[in-house]
Copies of this chain bind each other. A is one copy, B any other.
Amino acid sequence: MSSNALIKGSLQTIILKLLEENEKMYGYEITQKVKELTAGEIKITEGALYPALHKLEAEGLLTTEIQQVDNRVRKYYSLTKDGQKEVSSKLAELQAFVESMQRIINPGLKPELGF
C-alpha cells in the first residue's frame, strides 16, 4: 500500500515532461527531482524508473550520453525529436484524462480548472 498506487502509466509522461524542461537529466536526478517537486509525495522507485528509461530509449524518444563525474558514471538522457513531439501528445492525453475524472468525481463542475 505505497503512497502512490495511481502512477501507473503516467511515469513515462513525468519523465518526458521533466526532460522537456531540463534538456538533460540522469536517472537518479529524476527520482530526486520528483521527490522535491512533490514534497516527497511521489517517490519514483529505481525498479520502475530504469526499465521505463530503457523502454523510452528503445522507442527512440530518448537518447543517452555517458559522463564521468568524480569517478562515477552518469547516464544522461535527453529528448529526441520524436520525444519532443511525444511530450505534447502525452500531456494532452493526461489533461484529457484528468478532466474526464473531474466530470466523474466532481459532477456539477463546469469550468475546466487546473492543467
A6 & B105 in contact (Cβ 8 Å cutoff)? no
- Assess whether A52 is interfacial by the CB under 8 Å rule: no
A107 & B6 in contact (Cβ 8 Å cutoff)? no
Which A79-115 residues have C-beta < 8 A from chain B? 91, 93-94, 96-98, 100-107, 109, 113-115
A42 & B100 in contact (Cβ 8 Å cutoff)? yes
A103 & B9 in contact (Cβ 8 Å cutoff)? no
Assembly CA distance A109 to B103 (angstroms): 22
Among B4, B100, B109, contact of A41 (Cβ-Cβ < 8 Å): B100
- Assess whether A21 is interfacial by the CB under 8 Å rule: yes
Assembly CA distance A96 to B42 (angstroms): 10
Apart from A38-B103, A41-B96, 7 more pairs, CB < 8 Å: A4-B97, A5-B93, A8-B9, A14-B101, A17-B104, A21-B107, A102-B115
Residues of A at the B interface (CB closer than 8 Å) are 4-10, 13-14, 17-18, 21, 34, 37-38, 41-42, 91, 93-94, 96-98, 100-107, 109, 113-115
